[in-house]
Structure 1
Amino acid sequence: MRFDVFQDFRQRQLRASSPLLDAAETNVYRALAPLRPESPTDTGKVHRCDLARAWLRRFELPEEWSRHAMVCRGVRHGLGVVFHRLRAVRARLWLPGDVYPVYFELARAAGLAPESYPTLPAPVLPESPADDRPEYLLLANPSKPLGRYLSDAECAAVISWLQVSPRRRLLIDSVYDLGVPFAAGTRRLLDTGRAVLLHSVTKGWLWPRTFGVVLLGSAHAESAEAAEAFRADPPTPAQLRLADRLLTEHSDVPRLVVDELAARAERLFERLPDEVLGAIPPASRTCPGNYFFPVDMPAETLRREYGVLAVPVGVFGESAWSGSVLTSLADTFGPTPAGTR
């Protein structure tokens, strides 16, 4: 089911059946709007190289990596640039089929024919043999709608996948990682020297399509060409000023976001029937900053038998899994529940 089709269905269900518990809101920017910092009004000049170093310092990464830290306008923009480079070298690309449909839109727009692998109810890496082409695997850590970080065993499996061929590389979307430093699994994968890390201010500071960094791996064969492509398509001066303000004067906002999402998650859990709560994996219930909770029950079952409106897994992409996804973003779970206003 396409996202827009589901949103129409959701609104009809909520209008027709007020007792339904709305666990299907997905717009984090609307839900957490009071936490989003204001855009600066000054007009001072901010340099990309200074922002790259500030980003590295924040996430406790070596500052000497700055020549590999490409400033961009967010993960979407960064992936678009990287995907065009992959097309130029005839790379094979694996995308998670049930995470984010935009991955496929960006890849196809770049002229790629991506293949997919599932992440629900747990990631299953592709088993196709390597060939003579460069091969890239995109993963998210933490992953949505899985709602958790990769486990130690899953990171080991990814490293084993890399080791099959020197032509294999990783693309790590870390936009949902709101902590400092990045998760241990992400740092472990970065240590291979064969990973490209993508991050932005989209979730932590609630400013989508504004500023991000693509950290090119030291073994990334196309580093020079990719770096030139990023330099030719930079953020605007206003976006750079905003990024500077976010990283300096509003450095605590991601922590506030994590705290608010934790409180909302608890309010969701308090409202769920025991059978439904028990069907959510513990790792998803306890992942910091998470607001996606997979549950091993079909959305139709949750709505008809438990009065809970969930997101069908098909909204996130193609999946053979029969479960669905709950979210904690509806007004019901906010600081002042809608029903008490």
Structure 2
Amino acid sequence: MRFHEFQELRQRQLRASPALLDAAETNLYRALAPTRPEPPDDTRTVYRCDLARAWLRRFELPEEWSRRAMVCRGVRHGLDVVFRRLRAEQARLWLPGDVYPVYFELARAAGLAPESYPTLPAPVLPASPADDRPEYLLLANPSKPLGRYLSDAECAAVMSWLRESPRRRLLIDSVYDLGAPFAAGTRRLLDTGRAILLHSVTKGWLWPRTFGVVLLDPAQAELAEAFRADPPTPAQLRLADRLLTVHGDVPGQVVGELAVRAERLFDRLPDEVLGAIPAASRTCPGNYFFPVDIPAETLRRECGVLAMPVGVFGESNWSGSVLTSLADAFGPTSSAAR
């Protein structure tokens, strides 16, 4: 079931059964709209190199990496540029099959034929042997709808996968990492020297498709030129500068508000449903996706909880479902908050 099809079904089910607990809202920007900073109203010039250094400082990364920190318009834009380069390299691409359907849309638009691996109920890395082609594995850390960071053992498995071939590399989508510095697992993977990190202000500052950084590995000179030739607009650069400087505390506010919403969701769930949410997902900062090993239909029929079937996120053989904490019932003006 595609995302828009599920949203139509969700609205019909809520109209038919108003007592259902809506745990299937996904619009973060609507839920946290009052937290989003206003754009600047000046017309000063902001330079990409200054933004790259500001981003590196925020995430406690070496400032001498600034020539590798490519300013872009967000993770989607970054992946579009990277995927087109992978097509020129005739690279093999592995995507998480149950995370974000847009990954596949972007890859196919770039002329790639991506392969997939599952992340639910836990990531299972590709077991195919390496060949003579460049090979890239895209992972998200933290991952949704898994709702948590990679464990130490999972990071070790990723590093083992890299060591099997010098032609293997990683693409790390860190858009859901709202802390600074980045998670320890992400930093370990960066230290391999064979990872491209993608980040943006989409989740932390609630400004999608505006500004991001793609941190290239040291051997990606051709990619660097592609990013320099396709920059954000001057208005987007001014907004990014304001977000990183004047509004540097907003990601922390987002984490705090999401923690409150998650607790309100947990308070409303039956014990057997709450107990089915993995502890790592319940405690991951800034998380609002909570996988449960219970089918969505069972949750609706037997527990009065409207959840998302995992198929909304992509192809999956897992029979569980995903809860979210973004519905109005968990917001500051709901009866649950009183």
Q: Deviations over 1:117-146 (max 9, x none)?
A: 000000000000000000000000000000
Task: Name the CA distance, whole Å, in 2 between partners of 1:108 and 1:95.
Answer: 12
Post-superposition offset of 1:320: 0.2
Preserved contact between residue 135 and residue 167 of structure 1 (Cα < 8 Å): yes
Q: Secondary structure at the match of 1:64?
A: helix
Preserved contact between residue 331 and residue 338 of structure 1 (Cα < 8 Å): no
Find the partner of 1:245 among 232, 242, 246.
Answer: 242
Post-superposition offset of 1:217: 1.0
| Unaligned residue ranges in structure 2 (runs of 5+) | none
* CA separation of 1:275 and 1:86: change in aligned 2, threshold 3 A: same
Q: Secondary structure at the match of 2:171?
A: strand
Task: Name the CA distance, whole Å, in 2 between partners of 1:180 and 1:199.
Answer: 12
Match of 2:13 in 1: 13
Match of 1:148 in 2: 148
Find the partner of 2:310 among 310, 313, 325.
Answer: 313
Which amino acid is 2:285 matched to? Answer: P
Post-superposition offset of 1:340: 8.2
Relative to the length of structure 2, the TM-score reads 0.99
Task: Name the CA distance, whole Å, in 2 between partners of 1:199 and 1:339.
Answer: 34
Structure 2 residue 259 is the aligned partner of structure 1 residue 262: yes
Match of 2:65 in 1: 65
Preserved contact between residue 141 and residue 148 of structure 1 (Cα < 8 Å): yes
Q: Deviations over 1:269-310 (max 9, x none)?
A: 000000000000000000000000000000000000000000
Task: Name the CA distance, whole Å, in 1 between partners of 2:107 and 2:278.
Answer: 31
Relative to the length of structure 1, the TM-score reads 0.98
Find the partner of 1:329 among 321, 326, 329.
Answer: 326
Task: Name the CA distance, whole Å, in 2 between partners of 1:340 and 1:164.
Answer: 51
Preserved contact between residue 330 and residue 337 of structure 2 (Cα < 8 Å): no
Match of 2:112 in 1: 112
Match of 1:23 in 2: 23
Match of 1:293 in 2: 290
Post-superposition offset of 1:339: 7.5
Post-superposition offset of 1:224: 1.3
Q: Secondary structure at the match of 1:46?
A: coil
Following TM superposition, the consecutive aligned residue runs of length 4 or more in structure 1 with deviations greater than 4 angstroms are 338-341
Query: How does 1:184-195 map onto structure 2 within 5 Å?
Result: 184-195=184-195
Post-superposition offset of 1:338: 5.7
Task: Name the CA distance, whole Å, in 2 between partners of 1:168 and 1:43.
Answer: 43
Task: Name the CA distance, whole Å, in 1 between partners of 2:94 and 2:136.
Answer: 6
Task: Name the CA distance, whole Å, in 1 between partners of 2:298 and 2:230.
Answer: 47
Task: Name the CA distance, whole Å, in 2 between partners of 1:256 and 1:84.
Answer: 36
| Unaligned residue ranges in structure 1 (runs of 5+) | none
Task: Name the CA distance, whole Å, in 1 between partners of 2:14 and 2:336.
Answer: 14
Which amino acid is 1:29 matched to? Answer: Y
Q: Deviations over 1:223-251 (max 9, x none)?
A: 11101110111000000000000000000
